Structure 1
């Protein structure tokens, strides 16, 4: 069961876009009971092209704490928050068309996507964000490039960042067309194991009482994360997939009845990132198995409807119904074979007296 490390919303990290002074960040290595979440975030940090991580869970399950903790492990240590009320210009940036027309030069005012380059773009309650903004940030997260076009003028810039979106399912779901575009998804639960809850509370109290001392105790583990993420990024181009890995990915995606091929691509990239993080010489089926849940959690579908699971095809049932009808039970067999269809019902007619016909108009 996933644990919970309750984070304070005003806890900002170094380089936070909020403009406030730097405050101590709860160490990523000190998260308790969050193994699946930590793995997903590390994989997204190694390969931002995965498309980010969607974290679903109730309030107080360390969603924001984990996002801030991850930002500290990245090269720039930048954490950019996207508020719910942000406009599209605030997100992607804007072009000064007046300057273009007057001077012939492009003047670009960068948005949050530019500021998040090489860092973390954190979107709390992403399910409440307008669809247009979600679509724009997912495009940039997957491609690593942000393009702004206004009145025939185009400007592009690098926007390689780790996208982390959080949502509370009690407040509404994200549209299926958008949720599928997140590379990985982790579903957090409340911690109901007494020992886990006690360990979480003790760690939080220790951090609040002495942030510097608490962070010092995890300094070596934090440094190891930074070094392993940096080395894994460099090792990604050197790792490839054999036929056995491809076959296992295809089988898992087919069994999950996913739409399209995005799940296959993300699963291969996630497995490669995990192999690079563990300094493996090659990507194995074992790596695929360990990332499959995060890739398929939000993409898995039912294979067939109840009607398709009947013992015989609909066409066969209909043909049998016709044969039975020839033996004198046509109405009943037709109703049985056409599952879901109601037979016609007779309706009584009522005579209407003293109807005065209308005059026919001459043309």
Structure 2
């Protein structure tokens, strides 16, 4: 039985995915800077949304966590560790660590609030005076990726909880006067089919980026996609070996970008232009400005540069703003044409 448990299913390599550049770029930038706020991926059925997201998680380098900790606590960063680990460090206790793969947590459509946030055992707290906490999916997703397929069909209340945790990096569970708080910093990735309905504009606005996925029309490209998938299904190890060098190269590039990010600057003039575009498009609030600045910096770091360029902004701004133009829940999301026209007017 243990032997079966240890067998891991091969994951289709990220670098083998043909096309869907918008989705791939949005995922890479969110991994470089999780504070961008996640990505909403909307598109036709069977366009490789789930495959790409799982491939992204599999590509990432392993992370160092505290052993036997429920929250994948970081052994040094206070913002990414549980209160128990923090107390142990403050009391100079020895902490054992080990490496794990970046957590990839799937949120099922029928999940309850308790399943997502975790539950407090009130009986144990009252009878034994012990705070007993059963962690939920937010705890398991700390320092990883939380993937919600068909997020547009999820209860608005649950979407709100996910977005709050993703934005603050913490999850708080309260029951009968007992409160437990734990780190929950993750990249939130939602996907869905627009035919089944859109998220409310208020919730949509809180996703950092919005990628549109369309079915590939070019016959030659379709043949290439089918061939690659068939080759992988027939002999996964051969396919993984073929892309091993490209996978390692991309992994190194992402690590380098994560380290470089804090040193990247964006000129005042470019920041003004971003805000002028947001104002011209009548984007509510300042989230659009903030996310575009962050995404442009992440892209510059990914390109191994210290200064954000005009091209960086042009590449990310549509992803950061197109979903913020909807004022009416009955409106459809602009494909980006309105953003493109405004960008052409200001970024010359």
* Structure 1 or 2: more helix by fraction: 2
- Segments of 5+ residues of structure 1 without an aligned counterpart are 1-18, 303-363
Pick from 33, 42, 47: which aligns with 1:47? 33
The structure with the largest strand share of the pair is 2
Q: Quote the offset at 1:214 in angstroms.
A: 0.6
Asked if 2 retains the 8 angstrom alpha-carbon contact of 1:248 and 1:288, the reply is no
1:286 Cα deviation after fit: 2.2
Alpha-carbon offset, residue 106 of structure 1: 1.7
Per the normalisation by structure 1, the TM-score is 0.75
> Do the aligned partners of 1:257 and 1:301 also contact (CA within 8 Å) in 2?
no
Give the TM-score taking structure 2 as reference length: 0.78
Instruction: Point out which structure has higher relative CO (alpha carbons under 8 A, 6+ apart).
Output: 2
Aligned to 2:196: 171
Q: Does 1:201 align with 2:226?
A: yes
Pick which of 176-185 and 143-152 moved more: 143-152
Which residue, out of 286, 290, 299, partners 2:315? 290
* 8 A contact 2:13–2:59 mirrored in 1: no
Higher-Rg structure is: 1
Q: Secondary structure at the match of 1:122?
A: strand
Q: Give the gaps of 5 or more residues in structure 2.
A: 63-100, 328-348
Structure 1 residue 88 corresponds to structure 2 residue 74: no
Structure 2 counterpart of 1:57, from 5, 24, 43: 43
Is the Cα contact below 8 Å between 1:145 and 1:157 reproduced in 2?
Answer: yes
The Cα shift of 1:145 comes to 1.5
Query: Residue 276 of structure 2 aligns with which residue?
Result: 251
Distance between the aligned counterparts of 1:106 and 1:47, measured in 2? 34
Task: Answer whether contact 2:265 2:306 (CA < 8 A) is retained.
Answer: no
Separation in structure 1 between the aligned mates of residue 6 and residue 45 of structure 2, nearest angstrom:
24
In angstroms, what is the RMSD of aligned CA positions? 1.6
Residue 280 (structure 1) shift: 0.5
1:125 maps to 150
Secondary structure in 2 aligned to 1:160? coil
Structure 2 partner of 1:104: 129
3-state SS of paired residue (1:80): strand
